[in-house]
Structure 1
Amino acid sequence: MNKQADLTFKDLQSEIKELSSRFNRFKDDDLFVLWFLRAYITETEEAAADAITGGSNDKGVDALLVDHAAQCVFVVQGKYRQALGSKSEPRSEVMAFLDLAAFLNSWPDNDCMAYLKTADEAVAERLREARNAVQKHGYDTRLFFVTTGKVSPTVRDDAMTQVRQVSKKARIEIIDSHRAMLLFRDYLDGVAPPIPSADLEMEAGAGIQVNGISQRFDHNTGVESWVFSMRGAAVAEIFEKSGLRLFARNIRGYMGEKTSVNQGMVATLESEPEKFFFYNNGITIVCDAAERKGAQGRDLLRVDNPQIINGQQTTRTLAAHAKLAEKASVLVKVIVVPRDNNQRDGFDGLISAIVAGTNWQNAIKQSDLMSNDRRQIEIERAFRKVGYMYLRKRQSKGETRRAIGRGQYRVITKEELAQAVAGCELDPTIIRSGREKLFSEQYYNTVFPNSDADFYLPKYWLMREVSWSSKGKPERAYAKWLVLNSLWTRIEPLLRGAHRLRSFRKICESQLRDGVVPLSKVIDLSFIEALRFFRDSRGSGESAIDVSAFFKSRKGLEKEFSKFIKAGPESRRKTFENALVAFKAAVDNFES
C-alpha cells in the first residue's frame, strides 16, 4: 500500500520547521518543546504553545502546563541537539532540573521565595500557580527531560529515585533520542497524545473463581501476551479516564447503539449480564510494556501506551451503561509489541494483521483498513488547518457531531474524497464500479498521492457542484462521472498555481455568485453535450444501449466524448469556451 520509508532525524527536523510557519515567534528549541507537548501531553497545538515559557532566567522551565482536568502539573525541559543521539546530557543539568519537583512539593515557602528571586517574572508567576495547585489542591507533578541526545542509565535511575523521594505524587520521565523518534512515529500515526499508562484490574470475587491468568512469551518474535477477564465496570472506567485516545489505532470510530451488534450487547446487559462474557468476542489491547502489580488487594496489569485495536464497540457500550456493566465480565487480550527500533514494518505489520484477524463482528471494508494509514492522518491534519474535518474512520453520525462541534468545520469523508479525485483523474468506469475499489492496492496511491489540501479540495468542490447540477435528473446522474472527468480536464489548466486553486475553493465555499454562476453554466453545457453524446452513440432498435449501461460499462468513454465535442459544431464549442473564459475571470478576480 502506501509504505513510508523508516523515519530519520531529518523528518523530525522538517516537522519542527513546519511548526515555525504557524508559530514564528518561537525559536527552534521552543518549537521542539512545543512539538513534544503536542505529541505527548496536549490535545492541541494552541495549548502546547500557551505552555511555552521562553526567554532567559527560566529556571530550566521550557514549558509549564497546569492541567486542571487531569489535576496535574507538567514541567518540560528540552534539549534540541542537532545530531541525533550524539551528545550525552551532563548529569548536573538533569539533576538541577529535579529541583523543580522539590519546589512544587516539599520546599518551605521561604526557600521557594528565594528560588524565584532570580527567575523571570512571567516564569515565576507560572511556578507560583503550579505550586499552589500542588500544595493546596493535591495536583500530581510530572517532570519531562526531553532531548535528542543521550542520557546514561545511571543518571536516569538516580533521577527517578530522587524524584520518588520528594513525593509519591511526583514523577520524572526522561525522553532520549530513541524514545523521541518513537514518539514522532506515533505522532505521525495519529496516536498523539498517547495514554502513558493504564491499570487493568483482573476479575476476582463476587462468585467468580479465577485460577490464574494466561501469560505467554514468544522468544522468536519478542511478543508477550496476557489473557484474563475483567469486570465490565472496570473496562468502562478505563474509557472514562482515557477517552477517545484509547482507540487511536482502531480502524473505525464508534458505530452507535443502532447497529445490530451494539443493540445485542445492550440487550444482553439488560436481560442476562452474567452471560455477556460468553456472547462477546472480548477486547484486544496492544501496548509497549506490561507489568503485573498488586494494589490494595487488587490484581492489576499496568500497561504502557495502551491502544484498544479490537473491542471499541464493546468498551463504549459498557461505558454507556456503566451500572449494568457492573454485573458483566469481558475477556481481555493484551499484546506487548516490541518497539526496539524505529522501523515500521514489524510493528505496523503485526498491528494490521491483528486488526484484520479480530475485527469481524462488524464487517471490515477495504477503506477501513486504510483509515490509519499515515497518508490519511497527514490529510486529516492538512484539512484541519483550512477548516475541514476529514473523517478517515467510519463512525456514527452522532459521533461525528460530537467531534466537530457546532459549525466549526466542514466535513468530508475519505470515501467522498476518493470519489472526487478518482472522478477527476481516472476512467469513469472505475469509480462507477464501487468506491471501495479506490482503496485497493491498485488505485490507492493514485487516489491519495500526497497530503496537499490544494490538490484535493478543488476536485472535491467541482464534484459537489456537478452532483448538485444532476440532482433530480436521472439521466444526468448517470452521466455525472463522465462530465466531472471531462470538466476537470478543461478546468485544471485554468487553476494553475496555489492562489487560483484556493480562490476556486473559496468561491465554492461561499457560493459567490460571480463565480458559481459561470461555473454552473459550464457544468450545464457539459451535461447537455454528454447526453447528446449518449443519444448519438447508443445505437437504435433492439441493440440500443440503456443510459445506465452506456455510462457505466464502456471503458475509454472520456476519450470518445472528447472526440465528439471536437467534432461538434463550432457554435457549441464557442459557447462553451465563452463560459470557461467567464469562469476563469471570476477566479482571477477573486479577492479573499
Structure 2
Amino acid sequence: MADGVKPHELIQLCELLGARFGGKITGTGPDANAKQRNFYTKALAAYFLTQEAGATDEDAIHASIDGGQDHGIDSVYVDSTQTVWLIQSKYKDSGTGEVELAEVGKFVDGVKDLAKQKYERFNEHLQAKIPALNSAFDSGVAKVKAVLTYTGSALGDDKRRVMSDLEDALNLPADPSFLRFINFGLASFHRIQLGEHLPAPITAEVTLENYGHIDAPYLCCFGSITGVQLKSLKIEYGEKLFDANIRHFQGDTVVNQDISETIKNNPEHFFYFNNGVTFTCDVIRPIGPRDDTRSTGKFRVENLSVINGAQTVSSLAIDLDNECQERDVKVLATFIALDGDLEEFGSKVTRFRNNQNAVSDIDFAALDENQIQWAQTLQQSGVSYRYKSGELDQADFDVETAAKALACWASDSECNLVAQAKKDAKKLFSRVSGEELHSSTYHYLFKDSLQARQLCRIVQIHQLIRDSLRSDARQATGMDKEIAANSLMLLSHIVYLKTKQYIDYNDLKLSLAHSNIVRTTAQTITQTIIDEYKKVTWGKTPPSVFKNASDLKTLKGAVMAALANT
C-alpha cells in the first residue's frame, strides 16, 4: 500500500464512529489533528463495548477514564454479569502496524492495580466506578476482560507474551478463567461492522411428509414438502433465502423451462422429475403433535438457507398457481443442521451437492469468504459488486468483469492471463492444477491480500478503457476497426502498466483527473496497438491473434518499445 493511503476498512470505520459518536464524545489535544485522533481513540473503545459487551451508547461513552493517571486503561465498564471490561484503545491513522510494547506494558500494570483494587492510583473518572467494581469483585463470579482495541493490522509475539504473563499471574487454580486477554484490531472491527449490515437469519416452520432422519455424524431430516410451502418461503424472504447458495435464480434457462413445464402440465410427477431442494440450518426441532408413523411432522428450522435448488424454489414461486396447488406439487427436501463450528463442512455440502448439476467454476466464487467481504465492504460505500451468478440487482460490476480486470492487472510477462481473458474468461476461475496458467488461477487473481478498494479501482479503470475503446472502434474503419474491437484485454494490460500509480488512493472512486488520464492513455495506446499490429504479417485474423499468448507477447513487446520512443 502506498504511503499515506488508509485502508478502506479504516475509512469506513471512521465514518461510522463519526456518525455514531460525533457530538457525544469530545476529543482532547493541543491541535485539531490530536483532538481528532483522541476522539477516534475514545469512540473506538465505546464502539467495542456496544458490540461485544452489550453496553448502550450512553454507558459505553461514560465508561471512558481516558486522561491523566489512567494507567494505560482508557475505558472501564461493568456489565450485568459482573464482567469487568478494561479497554486500552489506540487509534492509528495509517491503519497498519501495531501498538508499542511500552503502551502494552503500561496497560498490564494498570490492570494489575485495578485487580488489587488500588483505586487511589487512578484519576477521578475511575473513582466514580468504584462501587460497581467492588460489587463485581465481591460477587464471587467476577471475570475480567483485558481488551486491546486498535486500528492496526498486527500484534507481535512480544506483546502477546506480556498479556499471556498477565493471564498466568491473575488466573489462580481456584479461578482459572478470571482474566482473559482480547486482541481486537482493525480486521476485527471490520468484521463486526459488516455484521451490523447483515439481515436477521431466517427462522421458519415447515411440514414434512413421510420423513426420516440421520443423527450422525450430522443431524439431517428429509421428506417431501409441498410446493406451496416453498413458494411461501420464497415470497416471504426473497433472495435472502438463497444467501448460502452459490448462485441465484438463473432466469429462462432450458433447465428452468423444464421445471416450469412440469409444474404446469404434470405437477403430480414433479417429485419424480426434480432433484429436490437442500437446506442448511443451525437447528431443526420437531414441534407440535408427534406421529409415530412419521407420515407427517412439523419442524422449526433456525438460520435456514437453500444451498441447492434455488432454480426449483424460484420456479415454484413464479409458476405455481391455484390449479397446480390443488393438484399438490411435492418436492424432496433435505435439511442439514450444522453446528456453529462446521462452516467448512457446510461449504463442502454446498459444493458437492451443486457439482451434481451444471455448475461452472465461476459459481464457486460465491463460496469464497473474501468475495463476500469485498462485496459487503463496497456495499457500505454504495458500490454494488455482484459475486453470485443469477442475481438480478443492478450491480456496478460483477465477478466476471472483476476477473478480466485482474487478469489484465496481474504480472503476466507471457501474456497467458491476458489471452485467457479474451479467449474464455470463465477459465480464470479454474482451481485445477497442472494447466498452462497458474496452479490455481482463481487464487492468483483474487488474492487474500486484495483490498476491496483496490478491486474497485482496478475494475473502474478497466471499464473506462472499455468505454474509450468502444468509442474509438465506432469511429474506425476496415482493419483498424477489427483490431481495435479485439484489443481490449491487451489494451487494459498495457494501460495498467502505465497507470498503476493510480490504484492505491484513499478514494474509492477514481477522480475526474485520474479518469481523464486513463482515457487519454488508452486512446494513445489503442492507436499504437493498431500501428504495430499492421507492421506484422500474422497469417491469421485479429480475433485469433488476440487470443494467442505467444502472439500477444510479441505484439506487447512491439507496443511497449514504440511507447518508450515517444
**Range class of TM-score, shorter chain:** 0.5 to 0.7
Aligned: 1:444 with 2:442 = yes
* Residues 534 and 550, structure 1, Cα contact 8 Å, conserved in 2: no
Say if 1:360 and 1:439 are closer, same or farther in 2 by CA, change over 3 A: closer
Is contact 1:16-1:32 (8 Å) kept?
Answer: no
Task: Compute the displacement of 1:35 (Å).
Answer: 5.0
Look up the match of 2:47. 31
Residue 414 of structure 1 is aligned with which of 382, 395, 399?
399
Which of 226, 246, 265 is residue 271 of structure 1 equivalent to? Answer: 265
SS at structure 2 position matched to 1:277: helix
Distance 1:372 1:356, change over 3 A: closer
The 1:474/1:318 distance shift into structure 2, 3 A limit, reads same
Structure-2 residue corresponding to 1:300: 298
Distance in 1 (CA, whole Å) between partners of 2:208 and 2:86 is 45
C-alpha displacement of 1:554: 3.1
SS across alignment from 1:537? coil
* TM-score, scaled to structure 1: 0.58
Q: Secondary structure at the match of 1:536?
A: coil
Distance in structure 2 (CA, Å) of the matches to 1:301 and 1:191: 29
- Aligned Cα RMSD in Å? 4.4
Q: Superposed, which structure 2 residues align to 1:170-569 within 5 Å? A: 192-195=198-201, 197-203=203-209, 210=210, 213-218=211-216, 222-256=217-251, 258-295=252-289, 299-320=297-318, 321=320, 323=322, 324-325=324-325, 327-339=328-340, 341=341, 347-359=342-354, 363-395=358-390, 399-401=392-394, 411-425=396-410, 426=412, 427=415, 428-441=418-431, 442-449=440-447, 450-471=449-470, 472=474, 473-493=481-501, 495=502, 497-499=504-506, 505-507=510-512, 519-538=518-537, 544-555=539-550, 557-558=552-553, 561-566=556-561
1:290 and 1:304 in contact (8 A); partners too: yes
Mapped contact 2:529–2:559 kept (Cα < 8 A): no
Q: Measure the CA separation in 1 of the matches of 2:285 and 2:399.
A: 38
TM-superposed deviation, 1:419: 0.7
What secondary structure, in the 3-state scheme, does the structure 2 residue paired with 1:215 have? strand
Whether the 8 Å CA contact 1:20–1:31 is kept in 2: the answer is no
Instruction: Report the 3-state secondary structure (helix = DSSP H, G, I; strand = E; otherwise coil) of the residue aligned with 2:487.
Output: helix
Give the direction of change, closer, same or farther, for the CA distance of 1:265–1:33 in structure 2 (3 Å limit): farther
Contact 2:221-2:334 within 8 A present in 1 as well: yes
Instruction: Give the distance between the partners of 1:411 and 1:490, measured in 2 at CA.
Output: 24
Q: Distance in 1 between matches of 2:269 and 2:84?
A: 54
Which secondary structure state, in structure 1, belongs to the residue aligned with residue 215 of structure 2? strand
Q: What is the SS of the residue equivalent to 2:57? A: coil
Provide closer, same or farther for how the CA distance between residues 375 and 529 of structure 1 changes in structure 2, counting only shifts above 3 A.
same
CA contact (8 A) 1:217 1:225 kept: yes
User: Structure 1: which 5+ runs fail to align?
Assistant: 1-13, 38-50, 59-75, 84-146, 150-176, 204-209, 342-346, 402-409, 508-513, 574-592
Aligned partners of 2:420 and 2:193: how far apart in 1?
34
The answer to whether the 8 Å contact 1:253/1:393 transfers is yes
Instruction: Assess, with a 3 A threshold, how the Cα gap between structure 1 residues 198 and 502 changes in structure 2: closer, same or farther.
Output: closer
Amino acid paired to 1:400: D
- Structure 1 SS opposite 2:490: helix
Contact 1:188–1:377 (Cα < 8 Å) also in 2: no
| Shift, 1:217, TM fit | 2.1
Offset at residue 369 of structure 1 (A): 0.7
The CA distance in 2 between the partners of 1:191 and 1:331, in whole Å, is: 33
The code of the aligned residue for 1:337 comes to L
Name the SS of the counterpart of 2:58 in structure 1: coil
Query: Residues 186 and 34 (structure 1 numbering): CA distance in 2 closer, same or farther, change over 3 Å?
Result: closer
Does the 8 Å contact 1:261/1:361 carry over to 2? no
Which amino acid in 1 is paired with 2:338?
V
* SS of equivalent to 1:524: helix
Once residues 497 and 433 of structure 1 are traced to their aligned partners in structure 2, the CA distance between those partners, rounded to angstroms, is: 29
Tell me the secondary structure at the aligned position of residue 16 of structure 2: coil
Contact 1:190 1:372 in 2 (8 A): no
Question: Which residue of structure 2 aligns with residue 133 of structure 1?
Answer: none
Deviation of 1:517 (Å) = 5.5
User: Deviation string for 1:444-480 (max 9, x for gaps)?
Assistant: 2332224524312332222223222333432112222
Residues 16 and 31, structure 1, Cα contact 8 Å, conserved in 2: no
Per the TM alignment, residue 394 of structure 1 is displaced from its structure 2 partner at its CA by 0.8
Taking the aligned partners of 2:229 and 2:86, their CA distance within structure 1 comes to 45
Higher mean displacement: 514-523 or 474-483? 514-523
Distance 1:354 1:477, change over 3 A: same
